[in-house]
Amino acid sequence: MAKSLGQIHSVNFGGNVTTTGQTIDLNCPGELTQQLNRIVRAGNFFKCVGIDINAESGFTGPSHATISGRLLYYAPTRGRCAAFRGAFKAMANSMKLQGLTMRDNPMYDFTVPLNQDSLSHANQATLDGTIGLALNHTTPTASIFAVHNANVQPQYTGTAGDLFTSGFSSVQNPTNTSIDFVVNDSVPYTGNANVASEEYESIPFTISWDGVGTETAMNFQWRPDPALYVAIMCGQLQMVIDEKTTNDLVRLNVNIMISGWKSIMGSPDKKARRKAAIKDIRARRKAMTRK
């Protein structure tokens, strides 16, 4: 029997597609806040269990249209969550210097979009009052990931050939001919587990709309395994239109199914230490009982 994920929240978005290369922001916590009449914090990862997309006629109504693109998002990795917590702390400290606290205004939330292309993100956080922060921004000082990564050390800067050495000279290799036991040397990664990767996760889609009934209309329906979900950091997705077969306006309807959300504000190291301490206490009690 499949594991139950609980209640599913249906988050709906609509947008007009006018040109290739267009981006449409999908702000799940913002939409859920309006639906539930309470602040749904952005400092969570959201459990996505399904996505539906369909197309319909816009104002001019083409007879047929096909649209393809990608849904971009970030998964909540260790480094990315640490970067978000660091930016949140910087904002809290800046407010404190001006005699403010986030708790004074219950409607305030530290919310940031996916990137700088999110031009209409509501209540976007900013530290200088001008440039809004983003998870990944072309301006390094406004990029949460870039600021975090600048302080993450060490990061590997050598070449692939430096990764493995030939080791001892031995009976097997008396002349030490530099056999390092690998070929096609490459660097698997350049940072460490604390790096906030700026590479997007992507879900490709293709949909079509037929206004006269001569073509096959095609909707997009995406579902993970029934017992699993896809974790979306901060609930932020961005739709990128890669191809559009008509010059007329087409409207897209998007439904994202969210089964819940969980905070990313807690440090995983603290949780690990707490579990280790509890395990140690139980072991000591067990040893004393045996005596």
* Closest by CA position to 78, among listed 179, 191, 188, 194: 194
What was the pLDDT predicted at 221? 95
Q: Is 214's pLDDT higher than 70?
A: no
Q: Is residue 146 part of a domain?
A: yes
Residue 286 pLDDT > 50: yes
Asked if residue 164 is part of any domain, the answer here is: no
| pLDDT range class, residue 270, cuts 50, 70, 90 | low
What total of structural domains would you count in the chain? 1
Domain annotation covers residue 86: yes
Q: Is residue 150 within a helix (H) or strand (E), and if so which, with residue range?
A: helix 144-150
What single-letter amino acid sits at 252? L
Among 256, 225, 220, 251, which Cα is nearest to 73's? 256
Q: Given phi > 0 = left and psi -120 to 50 = alpha, else beta, which region is 184?
A: left
Pairing of strands 64-73, 236-244: antiparallel
If we measure between CA atoms, which residue out of 267, 273, 251, 234 comes closest to residue 136?
234
CA 88 – CA 204 distance, rounded (Å): 31
For 64-82, the pLDDT digits (tens) are: 888 999 999 999 999 999 9
The sign of the CA dihedral 89, 95, 98, 101 is negative
Rg (CA), the chain: 25
- pLDDT one-digit tens code per residue, 107-159: 899 999 999 988 778 899 999 989 999 999 999 999 999 999 998 877 777 77
Name residues whose C-beta falls within 8 Å of residue 126's C-beta, 6 or more positions apart in sequence: 132, 133
Q: Long-range contacts: 182-191, Cβ < 8 Å, 24+? A: 185/160, 185/161, 186/160, 187/156, 187/158, 187/159, 187/160, 187/163, 189/156, 190/155, 190/156, 190/157, 191/79, 191/149, 191/152, 191/155, 191/156
Identify whether 33 is part of a domain. yes
Structure token pair of residue 227: 């017992």
Q: Is residue 223 part of a domain?
A: yes
- For residues 96-105, give the mean pLDDT: 87
Nearest-angstrom CA–CA distance, 232 and 76: 7
If you average pLDDT over residues 36-44, what whole number do you get? 94
Please say if the pLDDT value at position 99 is more than 60.
yes
In a domain, residue 138? The reply is yes
166-185 pLDDT tens trace: 666 666 666 656 677 777 87
CB neighbour list of residue 45: distance below 8 Å, 6 or more residues apart = 75, 76, 231, 232, 233, 234, 235, 261, 262, 264
Residue bearing the bigger pLDDT, 247 or 278: 247
Position 203 in a domain:
yes
From residue 25, how far is each of 77, 88, 92 by CA, in Å? 21, 22, 26
Residue 247 lies in a domain: yes
Question: What's the distance, Cα to Cα, between the start and end of the chain in Å?
Answer: 45
**Least confident window among 111-120, 151-160, 196-205, 259-268:** 151-160
Q: Which domain holds residue 258?
A: 9-156+180-290
